[in-house]
Amino acid sequence: MATILPVAQLGEEILALVAAPVTESEFASEWLEILSQSMQATMLLRNGVGIAAPQIYVSKRLIIVASRPNLRYPDAPNMDAIVMINPEITKRSIQMVLGEEGCLSVPDERGQVARADQISVQYFTLAGEKIYQDFSGFPARIVQHEIDHLDGILFVERI
């Protein structure tokens, strides 16, 4: 069974750091597998739709994105959780959209954030396979929010 991890809260130093890339020797490792399972279990327990490694006190470039329909985004797609390692946005639409965000690290606060409506992302899987994938709407918003965590940025700084 995966371990539920504590989530770093607003004001803690780790959330302001730029996270280090996952190295080639870490791909396909037991450590990365266990880390991603614990992140996913923690995200699900807290009812989140995403999580980034720095939020559980690991300053590494790994995120999980798990869109599902919710009160604010009833038409959001129900996606299997995607683990993205060293994700990079390679293209973003000029079109920006305002949408509500929350954060497991910022309790009881929601806000309207402008994000690119469509993005192209390059990332690696746990096995080290390089993936190119396009996202739009709510999933694109989650990806941008989580990559911000890797760069030490919280959504409240974008309101």
Catalytic residues: 146
Q: How far is the CB of 67 from ligand K3U (least distance, A)?
A: 9
Choice from 135, 146, 147, 150 touching ligand K3U (CB under 6 A): 146
Q: What are phi and psi of 127, to 5 degrees?
A: -80, -10
Here the tokens at position 136 are 């739009």
Please state, in angstroms and rounded to a whole number, the distance separating the CA atoms of residues 111 and 158: 9
Positions 75 through 114 that interact with ligand K3U (CB under 6 A)? 100-105, 110
End-to-end alpha carbon distance in the chain: 38
Here the tokens at position 101 are 């965000």
Site mask for Zn ion (CB under 5 A), range 124-153, x = bound: ------------------------------
Choice from 51, 83, 116, 119 touching ligand K3U (CB under 6 A): 51
Give the strand order in the sheet containing 118-124. 50-52, 62-65, 82-92, 118-124, 130-136
- Per CB under 5 A, 103 contacts Zn ion: yes
**Which chain residues interact with ligand K3U by CB under 6 A?**
47-51, 55, 70, 72-73, 100-105, 110, 141-142, 145-146
